Amino acid sequence: MRISIIFALLLSFIAAPARAATLDYHDFALLPVQHGGRVKPLAGFAASELSQMHGSAHMGGMDATVWLAQVLFDPVSAMSAPLFHVENPDVRAMLDLPVRPANDYSFADIMPLLQANARLLDSLLKLDEKSLTPAQQDVLQIYDNAGLFAQTARSMTLVLPLSLDLPKAQAAQVKKDGGAHPDFRDYFRHLPEWLATLPKGKKHAPFTDDEITLGGAVQQIQMIGASSQENDLLRVIPAPWAHDGAWLAPWAVFHAGQGSPATAKQLALWHEMAVAYQGHDAAGWRKASRALLQVALARPDVRPDALRAEVFYNGFDPLGKAVIFYALGLALALSGFAVPRRFRRRAFFAAIGAVAAGAACHALAIGCRVYILERPPVGTLYESLLFVGLVCVAFGGVLEWRMRNGFGIFASAVAGIALLLMSQTFAKGEDTMSVLVAVLNTNFWLATHVLCITTGYGFGIVAALVAHVWLALRAFLKRDDDLTRQLMRGAYATSLIALMFTTVGTILGGIWADQSWGRFWGWDPKENGALLICLWLIWLLHGRISASMKEDVFAAGLALLNVVIGLSWLGVNLLSVGLHSYGFTNQAAFTLAALVVSELGFAGAALFLLRGRQDARPA
């Protein structure tokens, strides 16, 4: 907190020109930065930072890359941008935030109120995280985000043009070294000399005007240097002497005294970029950013094509477009059920085209991630949602090709929308292209066990969706015809495939566990959940094959497979125990609880209606 307050004071020493919003950010977006254990483009870094602070990778129409440039090179104006969205009225009341139409607040709005509520923040930081109310958690999140913004905005203050009030003699020294746009380094190199010339103690008073001016400048230089001691967020300087491939932030290079001709050249180019940005010099900006990019791309640990792919991924947003196409496909499929029969084929054909376009965007997103990360598509919970969603969409298309009645494409659209929207629960404010821990970072098992088990999830979800349609037609629309019999055959076949993938995936997981942890089975919650899916499907299929389970019970049990998969796939996170737990999230708990309640309610209501209708039949 104290560093953030000092930062707000220090920014008053830096000139604040108008934001240069019309510059060419292409090369700037591609500049590599080492963050989160990997080298990524500044565009990716900017998107994750802005998403964490603002909740979106765009702020008032401003792209994340443009926003980052403003924060780095014009931090004063960035302090006034409406960055923090505070929707919860309890949070606004706790921090005494004024009511605003959009509930958006700037760093300049938030920082004084955080300072005024320092005691409240200290008390919340001492509490156990699980005992905090949602409003208290939001307050601490705002505090963390404000600190992150301050650290980001301080990242380039080493090379920003700096104007301090100095006596004529000292000002001439700085101008000789730094020219028309001196930065902190030009002032700092004269600091020992200036300190030696300043009088010591109060006996010398009264001080001359030049001594007072020089003393104030020295104090400001010392404060700027002290406030940046631990600033290592923006690691854009490759360290040629580091054997572990570590990159350094500009301030880390300065404080560690690890400069070299190569780092000096890069810092000089960053300074040129800052000067060009603040002077709105489009040619100078393009020249400096391009020169920096050429230096960075010459590094052996930088993959230029991967940087371009990630910039494309963030700019094109294929997953967002996939959701739009799936929604359009769902609307067209529903209209196909409602329109007269002669128009139905056209509506379903248009729905197939929309869902196919969504699937293409969906597959493009996963393909980009595979290429960028150089590993199979599923390594995290977020990635499993993306992959399972695509499996559901693809197999729904297969069902549509076999049944040709619109229900397969309907299932595809519903699964695609639901799983992509659910994935946002686990993506908010985080870099979704994370580096895996060592025990998971094995391409063989990621490509076998993980893909196999998640494919089983996908087939299971499709089988459950088909069972939902069957129950709806039989229980609520009272249909018992070729369509319902066709749906039952499709659900049965799909559940067999789901059982095959989940069983094989579970066995492969045991072999991986034996290699990694020295035991095949340890009754870990995730292992128990995978076994539960297999047992649930075996129970349903055994009952159906042996004719001891009626169609309505089989369909209801298959519909509840969504609950079993949800508990195995996502529920283990809520336990916060076991080797497969990835962390508790309130939103995930709410989503899973809503799924369980709604599925039990739907299956129970359908069974009640069907059994009541059967009991009402004459003997």
Whole-number pLDDT of residue 340: 82
Q: What is the mean pLDDT of residues 587-596?
A: 78
- DSSP assignment, residue 19? -
Q: Provide mean pLDDT across the span 440-457.
A: 85
Residue 182, pLDDT > 60, answer yes
Mean pLDDT within 122-148:
88
Q: Is the separation of the CB atoms in 574 and 531 below 8 Å?
A: no
Residue 577 pLDDT > 60, yes or no?
no
* Long-range own/partner contacts, residues 471-480 (CB < 8 A, 24 or more apart): 471/552, 471/555, 471/556, 471/559, 471/602, 471/603, 471/606, 471/610, 472/606, 474/552, 474/555, 474/606, 474/610, 475/605, 475/606, 475/607, 475/609, 475/610, 476/606, 476/609, 478/613
**Residue 498 bridge partners (DSSP):** none
What local confidence, expressed as pLDDT, does residue 406 receive? 85
Selection from 366, 387, 535 nearest residue 461 by Cα:
387
Dihedral (Cα; 432, 435, 439, 445), 10-degree rounding: 70
Provide the whole-model pTM.
Answer: 0.84
Whether the CA torsion 485, 325, 415, 608 is positive or negative: it is negative
pLDDT 10s digits, 265-305: 999 999 999 999 999 999 999 999 999 999 888 888 889 99
Element (H, E) at 334: helix 318-338
The whole-chain average pLDDT of the chain stands at 86
DSSP string, 100-141: -SS-EE-HHHHHHHHHHTHHHHHHHHHS-GGGS-HHHHHHHH
Please tell me the distance from the alpha carbon of residue 603 to that of residue 538, in angstroms, as a whole number.
Answer: 19
| Cα gap 61→192, rounded to integer Å | 47
Task: Tell me the pLDDT band of 593, cut-offs 50, 70 and 90.
Answer: confident
The three-state secondary structure class of 579 is coil
pLDDT at 373: 92
Tell me which range, 172-186, 341-355, 532-546, is most confidently predicted by mean pLDDT. 532-546
In angstroms, the Cα distances linking 117 to 104, 127, 140 are 19, 16, 11
What band does 18 get if pLDDT is binned at 50, 70 and 90?
A: very low
The angle, 0 to 180 degrees and rounded to 10, between the axes of the packed helices 586-616 and 551-559 is 170
Strand partners, 426: none
Residue 202's pLDDT band, with cuts at 50, 70 and 90, is low
| Distance from C-alpha of 28 to C-alpha of 407, rounded to nearest angstrom | 47
DSSP-H helix ranges across 481-560: 482-517, 525-545, 551-559
Q: In this predicted model, what pLDDT tens digit does every residue of 75-91 receive, in sequence order?
A: 989 999 999 999 889 99
User: At residue 98, what is the residue type?
Assistant: P
The better pLDDT of the pair 46, 594 is held by 46
